[in-house]
Structures are given as structure tokens and as C-alpha cells.
Amino acid sequence: MVPANGRNLLVYTPASYARGDARYPVIYMQDGQNLFDPATSFAGDWGLKTALAWASRRGFQAIVVGIPNMGAARITEYTPFVDPKVGGGQGERYLDYLVHTVKPLIDERFRTLPERAHTGIAGSSLGGLISLYAFFRYPEVFGFTAALSPSLWFANAAILAFVEQATPPAGGRVYLDVGLREGPAHVALARQLRDILVAKGYEPRVELRWVEDREGRHHESAWGRRFRKALPFLLRNGKPG
């Protein structure tokens, strides 16, 4: 499918999708070309088909929409703030496209559960940053988010103040992780965000799933491995209907 800006969307449907008329929760994911196919990925794919099949066998099924990044425009699109050294800052425009173009298109063409409780957004690195921002920026749209190794450092860690000041979406769920081999600065910022979320009332293991991966690096293979384990937490209230 080619939306108005010429970008292809990658849409995964569970095996059961073709066998009935059930509706499914949806997860919108950044860096779509890195999720399913090593031939199109930046540094190896997430192995997401295997992860979703694993979750499906345990009763957690979803439609996944992979939104490819636009190469050189990735930093601009995935950052809601302007960094004095790197630039960026067009995240609002990207999310407007996702919320008002991509989501209506998916809800029209696929059997989705379109309500907030069944709609999530996920990504890693800068994709994790924009996914986390989207969760708090559009609480009426997204009921859960997964931010894997999010680039919290961007724009002098402006996302921390944004989250701290945001109104917590009622009933929302946040999965947040970091790899301990990503460096002490990255780990420290992730822990700081975790503490902010707890202070805002997110109950650990209920509304907040925090993971420190002892061997984790800033890499697709680590994110794919951890995302598989995150799926039951993200989808526990989103069974097909």
C-alpha cells in the first residue's frame, strides 16, 4: 500500500486472520524495513514473524504495521525536539501522518480493533523516542507503547521533562528497556525515565514493564529478542474480538 507521501507500509496479519471474521489489536512500529526481512534491514532484522508466531501460540495476536523510515529523513521524522547539534524536530508532522493517514487507512482495510485500548506504538532507538512521545502526545489514540533502547539523549534529554509534565494516560501501559552494553550514559537516562514513570504512578509489572538486558547491545537482534518477551505484556488486554 502506498500512502499519500509515497511510503510503503508492511502489514503483518496473524495466521488466524484468514480463517474467520475476528478483529485484532494493532501495533504501529517504526523502522519497518528492519522488522521482517534481513534483506531490507539496516543491520539484521528483528525476526518479528517468529516472535509474533510465538506470541500467537500463547493467545496474544495482533496486526503489526511496519512503517519504513525515509532514510536521510529518519532523524528529522523521529525527533519531536530540535537538537542543537543534530537538528531534527519534525516528529509532530510524522505523527500527524501516522495518526491521521496511516491509522484510518489500516482501520478501513483491515479488521482492526480501532479503540485506544487495542492500539499501540513501538520502536527502538530514535524509533523508541518517537513512540514514547506519541504515547503521551496522543493519549486518545495509543493505549500502550514499547520503547526499546530509546534515544533519550536527543535534544539534551528533552523527552524526560516532556514525560514528567504529561498527564498519564488512564489505563495505559509502557514497556521500557535498555541494554547494559549500550554504555553508562544511555543506561542512566533509561533508569531516570523509569523513575519518572514510577513517580507518575505507573505500577511496575502492571502498567510499566522495565527490562535491563545484561548482554544487550544497541542492535536489531537484541531488540527483536526482547520485543518477543514484551508482547504478552503489551497485548494482554487486546485479544481478537
Domain that holds residue 23: 10-235
Q: Is the pLDDT of residue 3 over 70?
A: no
Q: Is the pLDDT of residue 241 over 60?
A: no
In-domain check, residue 164: yes
Q: Is the pLDDT of residue 4 over 60?
A: no
Of 9-23, 39-53, 136-150, which gets the smallest average pLDDT?
A: 39-53
- Domain containing 202 — which CATH number? 3.40.50.1820
Q: How many domains are contained in the chain? A: 1
pLDDT single digits (tens) 173-193: 999 999 999 999 999 999 999
What gap in Å lies between CA 161 and CA 158, rounded to an integer? Answer: 6
Q: Is the pLDDT of residue 83 over 70?
A: yes
pLDDT band of 33, cuts 50, 70, 90? confident
Q: Do 204 and 233 touch, CB atoms closer than 8 A?
A: no
In-domain check, residue 58: yes
pTM, entire model:
0.93
In-domain check, residue 2: no
What gap in Å lies between CA 163 and CA 182, rounded to an integer? Answer: 22
In-domain check, residue 14: yes
What gap in Å lies between CA 220 and CA 223, rounded to an integer? Answer: 5
Q: What percent of the chain has pLDDT over 90?
A: 75
Average pLDDT over residues 82-108: 96
Mean pLDDT across the chain? 91
In-domain check, residue 5: no
Average pLDDT over residues 188-207: 96
In-domain check, residue 52: yes
Q: Is the pLDDT of residue 1 over 50?
A: no
